[in-house]
A and B are shown apart, each in its own frame.
Chain A
Amino acid sequence: MSVVKPLPRWADLIFLPLINLCVAFFICGIVVWMIGENPFTALAVMIKGAFVYPGGLGYTLYYTTNFIFTGLAVATAFHAGLFNIGGEGQAYVGSLGILAASSMFAPFMPALLLVLLCIVGSALLGALWAMIPAYLQAKRGSHIVITTIMFNFLAFSLMGWLLAGPLIQPNQQSPQSSPLPEGAHMPKAQAVLDWFGVGIADSLLNMSFILALVALAVFWVLIWKTRLGFEIRTVGKNQDAALYAGINVSKIIIITMMVSGGFAGLLAVNEVMGAQHRVVLNYTAGYGFTGIAVALMGRNHPVGIFFASLLFGALFQGGTELDFEFTSITRDMVLLIQGMIILFSGALAYMFSPTLSRILSRGGS
């Protein structure tokens, strides 16, 4: 019975998130002002750092790539009503797929095929790591939130042990793997664009960004265009109706989580094949957790996830610049801004909705 007049689509999808974002930045601005710096200067430094300075945009997009993968992982699971907190662990374990594929196939495989196999390897390992909690949820009823969190710790321990032991680069002290063979490197954006005659500043941006865009498109087709996606959404919205409709709910839970883990696993492509060219300790650096905020803010839609990833990528890169320019502002400011954005576009996402609706309907009548 109680129906509040819904916001127009454009206001709901664009205007409201923008308002939330502005409020978040406004509060951060107050904090910057209290520290004794000029908030507008700080904002200008961040924007310049993220988009204007040489290489700034490249680094922003490099971070964006990571957030797209982990954001997609959370969003996929969310469409089936599952909360995958395990993106961090799945992204971490994904690197094992790259190591396995590159060591197995590098000697006799041309570079392009090797890269493809490594990509498949990372997705596969991420998927398998997500499959275990999914199986436990589907068949044993263990709550996926709990199990995926636990699997993050398992992943950290497993990778820590592997990188300090069996996989450590021979005759080295630091816990990291041997470098990947050249053929398994993801081409740098600078190198590719240079080949086309376009010159850009060097950064860690690599072709994984294109892979991320492809992943966004695949996600969109999967969720909204395929019968599997229809079943995933049905399970997510009403499991009883899914059962009634003859959908195998356990199977869908397992498949969805594997797709989700696969997306998370692809983060390793950007980090290991694109940036570090080896597996280093803790390269996931919290991207998996931030993916939750990305999916939340992007409303589990590919366009939203892209822009949310871009925002978080810009924050990451601009925050580094902030740290560099001001002595009184540290990188922790980025965490504050992130926190505010998550607060306003996640927890309080609809706080301004009634007001906005009232203003719009007054304007309309």
Chain B
Amino acid sequence: MSDMTQKTSGDSAARYVLELQNISKSFGLVQANKDIDLQIKPGTIHGIIGENGAGKSTLMNILYGLHRADTGQMMIDGAETKVKSSADALSLGIGMVHQHFMLIPRFTVLENVMLGSEGGALLNAGRVATAAKLAELGKSFDMEVDPDALVSDLNVGTRQRVEILKALKSGAKILILDEPTGVLTPQEATQLFEILHRLRESGVTILLITHKLEEIMAITDNVSIMRRGEMVGHRKTNETNPQELAELMVGRKVLLNVEKPTAKPTDVALSVRNLGCMSSGGYKILDDLSFDVRAGEILGIAGVSGNGQTPLMEVLAGMRVPDEGSFDILGKTITPKSVITPRHMRENQIGHIPEDRHKHGLVLSLEAYENMVLGFHNSDITGEKRLMDKQHMLDHCAAKMEQYDIRPRNPKLLASNFSGGNQQKIVVAREMHQNPKLLIVGEPTRGVDVGAIEFIHKELIALRDQGCAIILVSVELDEIMGLSDRILVMNKGQEVATIDGAEASAQKLGLMMAGIADEAAA
């Protein structure tokens, strides 16, 4: 293997724009990257796919000079190179668009793009030069952005363009995009892909990091698959298929779509009427929202993130007081005047799997068994004695770990030491343990590996079939379409439309998410 790569590297000047050999990197005992080989042809879109924690981000950070590899070589245009910092990377023509944008919201587009090339003590020269460059780039790639607009006023898709322009301005010929579509609507994602195609035609090489199979299939020329820090395969995209990629990623066969028997909805469990909420800034984040959820059905709530899903879940879970309207939840009416806390909700058999498990769902620096009782610590799962019964909690946690296959099976491990999927399973196990009658679920599989996704989806369906009413909020349209019996689409805190789960398509939902109900229905 190594012999082969040695030989090819000799005449690779023309063949590969970027080549990695035997890259290894470990953090303490954790080997994040192990003997990674990667060859990237110029002017292609190369996908790197793998589950969360497979080592994709570490590898890209090595490429971009944010981490230093322990061993291995890196060659750019056939010449061995050392990238010691992101400044090195930029000067070598490597640009990166991070998953979380690195823009200063209160600066204008021009000021943001200018960062790092301000010129001398006075800004004017740099400003003029950058403006010219920006106009030129915008024209040649058909991605014009108003240079004087404040970044805080731009939508997510446009912000991402600014990030790409920022990378191109420094002359990037290799562009790394880390999970670029996570925050985009399907339409915005399509636009992004068009831009990427144009970039490729003009000779830019693109490295696309993602965990979404359909993106790999839609846009890349070649794909490399990572699992547990190792490269497990390289494929030409048109010679592979999603099933094969998924198996390579996970290392076993996976069900991409969970089987779902027809729902048998019964009584109304939750009835929301004219619900409204104000942000602290005084504008409406929930606006006149009305819907019902019945026992035994899953209501999916689709929308681009930040369109009112978060406050809606917070209100229903008792974490936020609504400003207008009311809702009936398992026979109790909650109005803006009600005194309600998440504790009341839990005591009434309402479960809540929060969107952000690190912020809300878990206390990462507490042990697993303590997290397993969080929010239920006044119930008898902490024992019936006056003091908390540690043994009782440990037993409870061990049983749940068995039932939900949470690894490692160590109730005394800190929550932060579990992988994303296992952390999420702790939350799921906890919120399902009292057989809730209503379950509020937010992004149940965000940052969760494919195997755990399958498991969590099956659990949700099983709970539904036991007669639980489920509200599922997700920005992953596949998840919404795969699980929901009915889908409510939200835009700017309002309901755009509610459609039957069977009638949904990504195209239709995408238009609705943008706030266009009529065209989608037509």
Separation of A234 and B382 alpha carbons in the complex (Å):
15
Check if A226 is an interface residue, CB within 8 A of chain B: yes
Query: Other CB < 8 Å A-B pairs besides A1-B27, A230-B388, A246-B342, 6 of them?
Result: A1-B30, A2-B30, A3-B30, A238-B365, A243-B319, A244-B342
Q: Are B388 and A227 in contact (CB under 8 A)?
A: yes
Q: Are B361 and A246 in contact (CB under 8 A)?
A: no
Check if B19 is an interface residue, CB within 8 A of chain A: no
Q: Are A241 and B359 in contact (CB under 8 A)?
A: yes
- B: residues with CB less than 8 A from A are 27-30, 32, 53, 58, 317-319, 341-346, 352, 354, 359-366, 370, 373-375, 377-378, 382, 386-388, 417
Separation of A86 and B345 alpha carbons in the complex (Å):
38
| B503–chain A nearest beta-carbon distance, Å | 34
Check if A271 is an interface residue, CB within 8 A of chain B: no
Q: Are B58 and A244 in contact (CB under 8 A)?
A: no
Q: Are B374 and A225 in contact (CB under 8 A)?
A: no
Q: A234-B366, A244-B375 are in contact. Are A3 and B29 (CB under 8 A)?
A: yes
Q: Tell me the chain A residues, 11-53 only, with Cβ under 8 Å from chain B.
A: none
List, in ascending order, chain B residues with CB within 8 A of A5's CB.
Answer: 28-29
Among A2, A4, A221, A227, point to the contact of B377 (Cβ < 8 A): A227
Q: Are A246 and B318 in contact (CB under 8 A)?
A: yes
Q: Are A243 and B342 in contact (CB under 8 A)?
A: yes
Among A4, A237, A240, point to the contact of B365 (Cβ < 8 A): A237
Count residues on chain A whose CB falls below 8 Å from chain B CBs.
23
Q: Name the residue of chain B whose CB is nearest to the CB of A226.
A: B387
Check if A248 is an interface residue, CB within 8 A of chain B: yes
Check if A359 is an interface residue, CB within 8 A of chain B: no
Query: What are 30 A-B pairs with beta-carbon distances under 8 A?
Result: A1-B27, A1-B30, A1-B32, A1-B53, A2-B28, A3-B28, A3-B30, A225-B388, A226-B387, A226-B388, A227-B377, A227-B388, A230-B377, A233-B363, A233-B366, A238-B359, A238-B362, A238-B364, A238-B365, A241-B360, A244-B317, A244-B319, A244-B360, A245-B342, A245-B374, A245-B377, A246-B318, A246-B343, A246-B375, A248-B341
Q: Are A244 and B378 in contact (CB under 8 A)?
A: no
| A202–chain B nearest beta-carbon distance, Å | 41
Q: Are B354 and A244 in contact (CB under 8 A)?
A: yes
Separation of A117 and B359 alpha carbons in the complex (Å):
44
List, in ascending order, chain A residues with CB within 8 A of B364's CB.
Answer: 237-238
- A: residues with CB less than 8 A from B are 1-5, 221, 225-227, 230-231, 233-234, 237-238, 240-241, 243-248
Separation of A104 and B377 alpha carbons in the complex (Å):
42
Which among A225, A230, A246 has the highest number of chain B CB atoms within 10 Å?
Answer: A246
| B435–chain A nearest beta-carbon distance, Å | 19
Separation of A241 and B374 alpha carbons in the complex (Å):
9
Separation of A1 and B229 alpha carbons in the complex (Å):
11
Separation of A270 and B374 alpha carbons in the complex (Å):
39
List, in ascending order, chain B residues with CB within 8 A of A244's CB.
Answer: 317, 319, 342, 352, 354, 360-361, 375
List, in ascending order, chain B residues with CB within 8 A of A246's CB.
Answer: 318, 341-346, 375
Separation of A1 and B345 alpha carbons in the complex (Å):
35
Separation of A16 and B370 alpha carbons in the complex (Å):
27
Q: Are A234 and B374 in contact (CB under 8 A)?
A: yes
| B202–chain A nearest beta-carbon distance, Å | 35
Q: Name the residue of chain B whose CB is nearest to the CB of A235.
A: B363
Q: Name the residue of chain B whose CB is nearest to the CB of A4.
A: B28
| A364–chain B nearest beta-carbon distance, Å | 12
Q: Name the residue of chain A whose CB is nearest to the CB of B229.
A: A1
List, in ascending order, chain B residues with CB within 8 A of A4's CB.
Answer: 27-29
List, in ascending order, chain A residues with CB within 8 A of B319's CB.
Answer: 243-244
Among A1, A2, A227, A237, point to the contact of B382 (Cβ < 8 A): A227
List, in ascending order, chain B residues with CB within 8 A of A247's CB.
Answer: 343
List, in ascending order, chain A residues with CB within 8 A of B317's CB.
Answer: 244
| A351–chain B nearest beta-carbon distance, Å | 18
Separation of A230 and B370 alpha carbons in the complex (Å):
8
| B160–chain A nearest beta-carbon distance, Å | 25
Q: Are B387 and A221 in contact (CB under 8 A)?
A: yes
